[in-house]
Amino acid sequence: MATEPTTGNPPSLASQVSRAVVWNAIFVPLRMIAEIVATLLKLTVLPLTSYGLLALVSGASNGLGTWIDLGTTRALPKYIPETNRAGGPRAVLRLLLAVLAAQVVVLLLVLGGLLLLYDSYLGGLQGKVLADGRIPRAEQLTLVGFIGEFGWLIILTILILLFLGICYDMLMAYLNSFFKQRAWNSIALAAGLLPPLLSAAAILLSRLTGDPDRMAIIGVLIAMFLAPTIAVMLAGWNVYRLWMSDVRYWLANDTAIADRPLPPAGPLPAGFIRYCAVSFLMTMTDFLASKSFAVFLTSDISEVALLWAGASVVGMVLGYLYTPMVGVQVPLFTRVRAGEGGTLSGAYQSLARLQALLLIPGAAGLLLLAQPVLSVLTPQYVDAAPLVWVLVPCLFVESMLTTAHNALIVYEKLRVIVVSRLLTLSVAPLLLLLPPLFGVAGVALAFGAARVLAGAWATASGYRLLGLRWPWRFTARVLLASGVMALLVAGLAMLLPALPANAGIMLRLREAALLLCIAVLGAGVFLVALRLTGGLEAQDRAQLANMRLPGRRWLLRML
């Protein structure tokens, strides 16, 4: 990881943001490959029932993690730079230790609750399995017996994941605060790829034992916390190096400030608790409107697996397309507000144009290719295609609306944020109305629609309070180019040969290669159509020309 210079002035805001976006863009193909490998391994190697059980364990971990987080993960990228600027590395260390202590206290309370509700929680998992009429009775009894015998391992896995989540989120927030996107992406790549690789290794090793099905689940549970342990160690090492670099910089450039006693106001900066309270509301409502909560509202273990699979495919593609903006928005708006360079309107419009350029054609392609992609992966998940069709419009639109939300939270328009997050609670009545009508697709539509409603309110409020203006003219060009691309992709997809349910590996690889060719052709047509309709805005072309990005000249010619 590159470190800051120990003498002279630190890099300008523009150079830090440009370097962060470049590193994000460089890691796009690596993250994409990692996500594809991870999804393929989970969907094809694990039986549907085991995948559903692990989804429920992950959902419980994510839900409890929202309580333990206390809203600090969203708050730290804002307050770490401010605290460092005001009091240096020692003040930042004091802030992080205070946050860690508070989260550990909540974790201990969660531990007591899990021990108290041990039998009730495991009984709920067994009930999901027994309610599923689509799996053989023998398989049901095997999984129910496993939950009863190894329930302690399930609880232990959840607790370890919660503690590692505390460490991981805090360390990654520190790296994000200083635009260390190369380190952030490297660690995120390892965190995304290690769990499925270790899970696959555990499953393969289980085949050498006398009880492969049971040992496979045990191995996957162990892999679930072994992988984040490695990721936390990597993050800790990178944060240590950055920390020491920052300490050397302060000592070399301003000894008087470095030796100054810490202010007596306490370990937390002014406004931190209020900001965390709003962030906690955001995190909690995000959980309620997510697959991690939705899986508990399904009727059986098969629906759990289908919902988790459909949402994971959408999340994989969305996360890949969103990669260039990871860890950039909140620190960027924070520094713009501090007067370190740029304007709020300019920063917002640049981010909005980048999101439209990536997410709109990506959403169109995923909608058209979802079913053939799932059929290539495994026939048992083809029924998840309707869930993808429901979630893509909701989650992609909501992602584009989060830019105004991030600007509002940085500028501390907290009342607006509270209203926006309370609108997310509309998921509750939707979950009562839609699932009886549409089944598991209704569950997906409920949490997706609630997220869009909250994002729309935040964007409208950003327009009213901060003067944020969406780049409609550029968005219209992207929509037109995406429409041209969609016509080509839809036509080519109709020409694909039908894939038999019992197709072998070679036939599936051939189908996957054809789908890849269609996706590449679609992307090429999109770029050409966008160029013919006007391409990038002049300011974006100028910024792209100044970036040290591989293939920069080719991109400039195409866009």
Q: Per-residue pLDDT for 261 more than 70?
A: no
Domain that holds residue 111: 23-274
Residue type, 70: L
Amino acid 241: pLDDT: 79
Residue 123 lies in a domain: yes
| pLDDT top residue among 535 and 267 | 535
Point out the least confidently predicted range of 67-76, 84-93, 222-231. 84-93
Per-residue tokens: 371 = 């079913």
Handedness of CA 151, 152, 153, 156 (dihedral sign): positive
What confidence tens digit (pLDDT) does each residue in 135-179 have?
777 777 878 888 888 888 888 888 988 998 888 888 888 877 765
Going by C-alpha positions, the residue among 70, 554, 62 that lies closest to residue 292 is 62
- The DSSP annotation for 84-131 comes to HHHHHHHHHHHHHHHHHHHHHHHHHHHHHHHHHTHHHHHHHHHHHHHT
Q: Report how far apart, in Å, the C-alpha atoms of 340 and of each of 334, 336, 534 are.
A: 9, 6, 32
Q: Per-residue pLDDT for 485 more than 80?
A: yes
Residue 308 lies in a domain: no
Distance CA(15)–CA(30), nearest Å, equals 23
Point out the least confidently predicted range of 46-55, 234-243, 245-254, 429-438. 245-254
What's the number of domains the chain is made of? 1
Residue 381 lies in a domain: no
Distance CA(395)–CA(290), nearest Å, equals 10
- For residue 210, give the DSSP letter: S
Q: What percent of the chain has pLDDT over 90?
A: 11
Residue type, 63: G
Most confident of 27-31, 173-177, 301-305, 323-327: 301-305
Average pLDDT estimate for 409-415: 82
Per-residue tokens: 201 = 């290794």
Amino acid 554: pLDDT: 57
Long-range contacts from 60-64, C-beta under 8 angstroms, 24+ separation: 60/121, 60/158, 61/157, 61/158, 61/161, 61/162, 61/165, 62/287, 62/290, 62/292, 63/287, 63/292, 63/293, 64/110, 64/158, 64/162
Residue 331 lies in a domain: no
Residue 112 lies in a domain: yes
Q: What percent of the chain has pLDDT over 70?
A: 79
Residue type, 354: L
Amino acid 391: pLDDT: 92
Place of tokens 């900066």: 269
Going by C-alpha positions, the residue among 92, 96, 94 that lies closest to residue 246 is 92
Amino acid 44: pLDDT: 67
How many C-beta atoms lie closer than 10 Å to residue 244's C-beta?
12
Please answer whether residues 424 and 454 qualify as being in contact, where contact means their C-beta atoms are separated by less than 8 angstroms.
Answer: yes
Q: What is the mean pLDDT of the chain?
A: 78
What confidence tens digit (pLDDT) does each residue in 527-553 have?
899 988 887 777 666 655 554 444 556
Most confident of 2-16, 386-400, 529-543: 386-400
| pLDDT top residue among 34 and 268 | 268
Residue 302 lies in a domain: no
Confidence of residue 343 (pLDDT cuts 50, 70, 90): confident
Please answer whether residues 442 and 435 qualify as being in contact, where contact means their C-beta atoms are separated by less than 8 angstroms.
Answer: yes
Mutual angle of helices 118-130 and 301-322, in 10-degree steps? 100
What confidence tens digit (pLDDT) does each residue in 124-138 have?
888 888 777 777 777
Residues 6+ apart with CB under 8 A from 85: 338
Confidence of residue 1 (pLDDT cuts 50, 70, 90): very low
Q: Per-residue pLDDT for 207 more than 50?
A: yes
Amino acid 479: pLDDT: 94
Point out the least confidently predicted range of 245-259, 261-275, 358-372, 478-492. 245-259
| pLDDT top residue among 258 and 281 | 281
Q: Report how far apart, in Å, the C-alpha atoms of 132 and of each of 15, 47, 304, 324, 345 are.
A: 55, 14, 10, 41, 52
Residue 368 lies in a domain: no
Per-residue tokens: 12 = 């300008």
Q: Per-residue pLDDT for 5 more than 90?
A: no
What confidence tens digit (pLDDT) does each residue in 90-105 have?
777 888 888 888 889 9
Residue 45 lies in a domain: yes
Question: What's the pTM value of the predicted model, to 2 decimals?
Answer: 0.70
Q: Per-residue pLDDT for 388 more than 80?
A: yes
